[in-house]
Amino acid sequence: MIITGRRQTAVDAAAKELGVTGLVADQGSLDAIERLAATIKEKSGKIDILFINAGVTTPTSIEQATEAAFDQIIGINFKGAYFTLSRFIPLLNEGASVIFLSSNTASMNLPDTSIYSSGKAALNAVMKIAAVELAPRKIRVNAISPGPIETEILNKAGYSAEELKGIKAWLMDNIPLRQIGKASDVARLVAHLSGEGSGFITGSEFLMDGGMSL
């Protein structure tokens, strides 16, 4: 198993904890994606599972959006994910499974999420087209669209401690199950979509948000 990420320290720590190989790569850079693909081809040859999950967010209204924020979010969340799939297709074995990490915001209309949400909606469209294009090779392509998950993404979004407290309180009020998801919840669904139990599933988006988008 190989994991990748942009930060050397984070990749090294995760690789050590999981007992896997860690490689540094920036999904926002096509050159980095192509180097990663070449490295994995050299090290492993072919792969059976491709989980594309890099993502960033910077909350902003449409009126106050900047080109820099737009380019960063779309560059990583959509363009980066798109070209990761594109450059890794030659490495996929027949019958492989590809899983995109999308978001429930792709089908919601929350303020200050226009760039992030539109990028994830575009990703879901690519997922369906890729499922059709890769079906002749029995390669399945699906997407998981989580709601709020306990990860570092909110901590990196520039909110103050008080703002984060307010956001989490708002989330708890708007999630019917009254809980925020865990990374392990997503991991279990990724494992399912990677295995034989999902062998007849492709081109599907799986919402897992505690009922938030109902």
Q: Which residues are catalytic?
A: 116
**Of 7, 28, 115, 123, whose CA–CA distance to 75 is shortest?**
28
Distance CA 123, CA 19 (A): 30
Amino acid of residue 206? F
Question: 45's torsion region: left (phi>0), alpha (psi -120 to 50) or beta?
Answer: left
**Of 122, 38, 40, whose CA–CA distance to 82 is shortest?**
122
Contact indicator for 44, 50 with CB cutoff of 8 Å: no
Amino acid of residue 154? L
Contact indicator for 81, 98 with CB cutoff of 8 Å: no
Residue 159 contacts by C-beta under 8 Å, 6 or more apart in sequence?
167
